[in-house]
Structure 1
Amino acid sequence: MTDDLEQLVRESLHARAERVDTTAPLVGRARRSVRRRRGARAGLAAAAAVAAVVGVLSVVDGTDAVAPEPGPSPTEAVDPAEPARDTWRTEYWHDVAVDVPTDWTWGPAPMRTAGGGLYVCGGRPSRPYVGRPVYMSDACFGGDSLGDPAAPYVWLGAPLEPGTVEVGNGYTQETVEAAGTTVTVGTRDAGMRERILATVRAGAAPCGPGQEQGDDTVCAFRLDARRRPVGLRYAAPLPADAGAAFEEAFDRARPFPIDRRCDLGRPTELVVVTVADRRYEVTMSSSGCSLVARGEVDLRRLTPELARPWVVGGLGTTLFGPTGGLGGTLADFVGERR
Structure 2
Amino acid sequence: MSDLETRLRDTLTERAGAAPDAIGLAAGARRRLRRRRTTWAVVTAAVVAAAVPLGLTQLAPSPDRTDRVADTPTATSGLPDSVIETGYRAESWHDVTFEVPVDWGYGSPMAWCAGDANTPQPVLQRPGTLSPTIACTPTSGYGVTFGSLIAASFNPSHSSGAVWEYDGAGGDAATYPEGAWLGVWFDDDVIVTVATPDRAATRRIVDSIETFTGADPNRCPATLGEAEAARGSEPFDTFSICRYGPDEQLEASRKLIGVEGRAAQDTIFSSPRRTGDYDCPTEDDLSRTALLSGGGYVATAVTGASCPGWNGLFMSGVVRDLTPEAQRHLDLSQRPVEE
* TM superposition score normalised by structure 2: 0.55
**SS of equivalent to 2:202:** helix
Match of 1:307 among 327, 334, 339: 327
Supply the AA of the counterpart residue of 1:90. A
| Change in CA separation of 1:154 and 1:43 when aligned onto 2, cut-off 3 Å | closer
Q: Distance in 2 between matches of 1:258 and 1:251?
A: 18
CA distance in 1, matches of 2:200, 2:37: 53
Q: Is 1:182 aligned with 2:191?
A: yes
Q: Is 1:238 paired with 2:256?
A: yes
* Contact map agreement 2:242 2:291 (CA 8 A) in 1: yes
In 1, the alpha carbon distance for the partners of 2:98 and 2:319 equals: 35
Kindly state the Cα deviation for residue 253 of structure 1 after the two structures are TM-superposed: 3.5
Between Structure 1 and Structure 2, which shows a larger proportion of strand residues?
1
Corresponding position: 1:223 with 2:246 = yes
- How much has 1:250 moved relative to structure 2? 5.1
SS of structure 2 residue aligned to 1:254: coil
Q: Matches of residues 1-338 of structure 1 in structure 2 within 5 Å? A: 44-47=38-41, 85-108=85-108, 126-136=120-130, 139-140=132-133, 147=138, 149-150=140-141, 152-157=142-147, 162=156, 163=158, 166=166, 168=168, 169-178=178-187, 180-203=189-212, 205=216, 206-209=220-223, 210-212=225-227, 213=230, 216-224=239-247, 229=248, 231-249=249-267, 252-257=270-275, 260-262=278-280, 265-276=283-294, 277-284=296-303, 285-289=305-309, 290-295=311-316, 297-311=317-331, 315-317=332-334
User: How far off is 1:265 after superposition?
Assistant: 4.3
How far apart are 1:186 and its partner, in Å?
1.3
Q: Closer, same or farther in 2 for the Cα pair 1:247/1:298, shift >3 Å?
A: farther
* TM-score using structure 1 length: 0.55
Whether the 8 Å contact between 2:145 and 2:192 is mirrored in structure 1 is yes
- Superposed CA RMSD: 4.1
Q: CA deviation at 1:167?
A: 5.8
Measure, in 2, the Cα distance between the counterparts of 1:43 and 1:102. Answer: 34
Contact 2:144–2:194, Cα closer than 8 Å, also in 1: yes
Question: 1:74-122: per-residue Cα shift (whole Å, max 9, x none)?
Answer: x7xxxxxxx962211111111111112222222236xxxxxxxxxx6x5
Report the residue type matching 1:273 in the other structure. Answer: L
Contact 2:268/2:322, CA 8 A, preserved across alignment: no
1-structure distance, mates of 2:143, 2:321: 37
Matched-pair contact (CA < 8 Å) for 1:250–1:306? yes
- SS of corresponding position for 1:316: coil
- Which structure is richer in relative contact order (CA contacts within 8 A, separation 6 or more)? 1
CA distance in 2, matches of 1:106, 1:222: 18
Q: Deviations over 1:187-236 (max 9, x none)?
A: 23222222221111112533122324575101111113xxxx0x321111
Distance in 2 (CA, whole Å) between partners of 1:241 and 1:264 is 38
Residue 226 of structure 2: SS of its match in structure 1?
A: coil
**1:188 to 1:251, Cα distance in 2 relative to 1, 3 A:** closer
Whether the aligned pair in 2 keeps the contact of 1:153 and 1:186 (CA below 8 Å) is: yes
Distance of aligned partners of 1:183 and 1:167 in 2 relative to their CA distance in 1, 3 Å threshold = farther
TM-superposed deviation, 1:146: 8.0
Distance 1:211 1:233 in 2: 14
CA contact (8 A) 1:94 1:232 kept: yes
Distance 1:182 1:43 in 2: 30
User: Contact conserved, 2:246 with 2:286, CA < 8 A, in 1?
Assistant: yes
**Displacement after TM superposition at 1:307 (Å):** 2.2
The question of whether the paired residues in 2 share the 8 Å contact of 1:178 and 1:201 is answered with: no
Aligned length: 230
